[in-house]
Amino acid sequence: MDNQRQLEQTRVDSVIKEIKKQQATTQIEYEKAHQETSSVERNYVQNARINTLEVDDQMETNAEVQQQKNLVAKTLENENILKKQLDTLKILNDSPYFGRIDIQDPDESQPETLYIGTASLVDDNHDFLIYDWRAPISSIYYNGALGKVSYQTPMGNEETNLLKKRQFTIENGKIINMFDTNETVGDEILQNVLGEHSDEYMRNIVATIQKEQNDIIRDTKHDLLLVQGVAGSGKTSAILQRIAFLLYHSRDKLEADQIVLFSPNLLFSHYISEVLPSLGERNMRQVTLAEFLKNRFEGLNVENLFMRYEHEDSLTVAQKKLRQQKEHPDFMHQIETYVDNLPNNAVQFRPIYLNGSEFFTTSQINEIYNNLPQLMKPSQKFSETKNKLIKFLNRQIKREALSDWVLDRIESLSDEQYYDLLGNKRRGSFQSLEDEQFYIGRKIVHKEWESVYDGIYNDYFIDTYAQYRDFLNQNYPQALEAFDTNLELHKMALEDCAPILYLRDRLTGSGVNHGIAHLFIDEMQDYSLPQLMYLHYIFPEAKFTLLGDSEQALFNEFRTPDELLTYYKQHLDFKRANIIKLNKSYRSTQQITDFMKSILPDGNEIISFTRTGPLPEIIQSKDNDHALQNLKIKLQSYQNDDRVAIITRNQKEALALYQHLKRDFNPTLLDDSSRSLPLGVIILPIYLAKGLEFDNVIAFGISEKNYSDQRAIGILYTICSRAMHQLTIITCGQLPTLLQTVNPRLYQQSSLIFVK
Ligand SMILES: Nc1ncnc2c1ncn2[C@@H]1O[C@H](COP(=O)(O)OP(=O)(O)OP(=O)(O)O)[C@@H](O)[C@H]1O
């Protein structure tokens, strides 16, 4: 192997030489392109500034400006392409590839050797020195055992014989590790990767993608892909790789901003933000459900999952029942029936105002709507009403264009303002001066009445809340009081959001976005079905990839993966749905995984990855003061640059803990607006730790009182599964029942600081 290693190193050296050569030439081209863009931009600015007072000049200027604008866009595009090439070459320069496959095609006499890396590299002879990991042929590196293998190409299925599979770890141009493997993409390299410390940013897993993860990444057949995976099984990693794959696979028709990822919180958005750039791709759009809803309910304080989680215990049985009803798909179907059969006189119109007085009154709008053919659907009537309102408005504008106030305004315009209003028209080119004044006058009135246009375009003439209230009144009168109180307080309950938006969009025919091609939802167990139904309604072209872990359901009731699939198939109208399950947990050491799986009733399905570490530690404390004392002793055992997360059940506990520790340990208390993960001691409630991982986790405040309810198992499981290397549980009082069933051999009990 030593000889082999030498040969491979020689190849690495020559590939790096080629990379450096390409870097040098691309850099020159890039600088040239950059200069060109700057000069074209300068030209553009100058031309745009040219004296626009002379009519002929102005015409010429307009045409030239448009031409220059196109030129700027073109040179900029060229510059961006070169910049992307440079970024990719930089990534390759550090580590050109991580895999090699030797294949023998049936019709070839000689085997062929291919190297696989983050991106392709082609030399002057058009030979591939490196194949992109997303190329069709590369899939056999992740999928195939030695022997006969097949892979998908755009032309159909191809077969070949896989003779060798070799893995490398290359750092700064030197082979650190290299070995041949048969079936899986190697445990040894995976061991090393997983043994490293956690970082502020998630890393890509391109060199060690596992077979079942590869199925998720390369799936292009299904329009609903459900990924159910145990904690730490690489769901998030796999979907980020999937996004990179899709961008490559459909590179002619898919752009990063046609992909939306709903992430669980802002910390998580920050945590995963480096993965795609490290693969040479642009990031997709990212949004949290809370941000998405906040944008759509401007001016209202929209409840988010965290608020709901914090207040969960204060709800009455009746309130919980009502919420369940609102989060049932039937509720959305009732809205459909309500909207589709809405009588004319029940549509809740409201006036459109201009400067405080009614411009279009409710009865005017009602009249337009009522006079439309009865057979039209409400959304058609609504858009027809909109068209008619615009026509009325335009007519009014024409009437107003030569009124006294407008003529006065024209008189007082400066030359510059006048030409601005003329736009592409030429002064003096109108049939008469009155025509020109009429033209300018219309522009002035149009500007002055812009808010009326806005009101019509943005559907302000329908009172959505009153409409929803009417729906509740007919179907759930018991829900009215709470809804009214909320509105008075400018609040909106989370369970009302999707139904209201659905009602509004279905009634007005607006809100639908055909431009989104893929929608990803992480932590899907936290979404209600009405929310998903609404997202499917407004993103009708989007293929959905939903990932989650039923066991980590902090907010909703538990459903098994198969129940979920059936449930979604029944209520979400997708044609080709598929579920992929991941059972192997990669994040934590075997000791931590074995411990956390023993908390779950059916945890046996979880397979731990064979990476060893210390047993989880349970420190029993007799009361809260003692628990704090133990916590402080434990914290002293860490170094300043360790990242230690103390995870509590809720924000109140986190805050109390922060007060106790702030003097001695300078901890960081995270809340739902936090965006980054500093080193040192971090305190956070579990819902903010979703999707994240830490070298060391301390679960604090675990007591029988606090952890005996229905949600306790899911919460404790989620807390424990955030730990990569070390897990400590500090209890308060005797061991809670849910830990009593855990086999004592799976943890170490710290007796040193235990006081009876
Ligand atoms: N194939 C792989 N190669 C290297 N590391 C991997 C692989 N799969 C997963 N990991 C690592 O395992 C850890 C957990 O992965 P990830 O966060 O994607 O899991 P998850 O299923 O989304 O977890 P959770 O649901 O608990 O948040 C990460 O550190 C990730 O880098």
Residue bearing the CA closest to ligand 1, atom 15: 234
Amino acid at the residue 428: G
> From the CB of 240, is ligand 1 less than 6 Å away?
no
> From the CB of 283, is ligand 1 less than 6 Å away?
no
Name the phi and psi angles at 205, rounded to 5: -115, 25
Contact 217, 241 (CB under 8 A): yes
> From the CB of 691, is ligand 1 less than 6 Å away?
yes
At 721 the three-state DSSP class reads coil
State the Cα–Cα distance between residues 137 and 103, nearest whole angstrom.
10
- Determine the residue of 192, 204, 205 to mutate for testing ligand 1's pocket, defined as the one with the most ligand atoms within 8 A of the Cβ atom: 205
Q: Comparing C-alpha atoms, which of 285, 290, 323, 286 is closest to residue 530?
A: 323
- Determine the residue of 167, 693, 695 to mutate for testing ligand 1's pocket, defined as the one with the most ligand atoms within 8 A of the Cβ atom: 693
> From the CB of 518, is ligand 1 less than 6 Å away?
no
Domain ranges, residue 391 = 352-454
At 581 the three-state DSSP class reads strand
Residues 709 and 622 in one domain: yes
Q: Which of 189, 204, 235 is the last residue of a domain?
A: 189
What is the secondary structure of 435-497 as a DSSP string? HHHHHHHHHHHHHHTHHHHHHHHTTTTB-HHHHHHHHHHHH-GGGHHHHHHHHHTTEE-HHHH
- pLDDT of res. 554: 62
How far apart are the CA of 236 and the centre of ligand 1, in A?
7
- Stretches in the chain below the pLDDT threshold 50: 50-57, 754-756
Domain presence at residue 343: no
What is the secondary structure of 312-357 as a DSSP string? GGG--HHHHHHHHHHTSHHHHHHHHHHHHT--GGG--B--EEETTE
DSSP one-letter code for 376 = S
- pLDDT of res. 611: 87
Residues 448 and 565 in one domain: no
User: Bridge-partner residues for 668, per DSSP?
Assistant: 682
- pLDDT of res. 48: 56
Residues 319 and 381 in one domain: no
Residues 48 and 177 in one domain: yes
Which tokens sit at 81? 């392409």
Residues 609 and 555 in one domain: no
At 144 the three-state DSSP class reads coil
Domain presence at residue 203: no
Residues 729 and 679 in one domain: yes
At 689 the three-state DSSP class reads helix
Q: Which of 171, 189, 207 is the last residue of a domain?
A: 189
Q: With 0-12 CB in 10 A as exposed, 13-18 as middle and 19+ as buried, what is 234?
A: buried
Domain presence at residue 239: yes
Residues 143 and 230 in one domain: no
Domain presence at residue 233: yes
Amino acid at the residue 109: S
> From the CB of 233, is ligand 1 less than 6 Å away?
yes
Residues 691 and 719 in one domain: yes
> CB under 8 Å to 569, separation ≥6 — which residues?
224, 577
Domain presence at residue 199: no
Q: With 0-12 CB in 10 A as exposed, 13-18 as middle and 19+ as buried, what is 163?
A: middle
DSSP one-letter code for 722 = T
> From the CB of 61, is ligand 1 less than 6 Å away?
no
- pLDDT of res. 393: 94
Contact 504, 492 (CB under 8 A): no
The number of angstroms, rounded, from the C-alpha of 611 to the middle of its chain's C-alpha atoms is 30
> From the CB of 97, is ligand 1 less than 6 Å away?
no
Residues 237 and 169 in one domain: no
- pLDDT of res. 64: 64
- Determine the residue of 587, 596, 686 to mutate for testing ligand 1's pocket, defined as the one with the most ligand atoms within 8 A of the Cβ atom: 587
Residue bearing the CA closest to ligand 1, atom 16: 234
Residues 625 and 670 in one domain: yes
Residues 32 and 145 in one domain: yes
- pLDDT of res. 186: 56
Q: Which of 553, 581, 609 is the last residue of a domain?
A: 581
The structural domain count of the chain equals 4
- pLDDT of res. 40: 72
Residues, the chain, total?
A: 756
Residue bearing the CA closest to ligand 1, atom 30: 234
Q: Angle of helix 433-448 relative to helix 415-422, nearest 10 degrees? A: 90
Domain presence at residue 214: no
HSE toward the beta carbon, residue 130, CA cutoff 13 A:
26
Domain presence at residue 197: no
> From the CB of 528, is ligand 1 less than 6 Å away?
no
Domain presence at residue 51: yes
How far apart are the CA of 111 and the centre of ligand 1, in A?
35
Tokens 């500007």 map to which residue?
Answer: 447
Residue bearing the CA closest to ligand 1, atom 13: 587
> From the CB of 231, is ligand 1 less than 6 Å away?
yes
> From the CB of 232, is ligand 1 less than 6 Å away?
yes
Q: What is the CATH number of the domain that holds 293?
A: 3.40.50.300
Binding residues, as ranges, are 229-236
Extract the runs of DSSP E, i.e. beta strands, from 602-674.
607-608, 617-619, 643-648, 668-669
Residues 316 and 360 in one domain: no
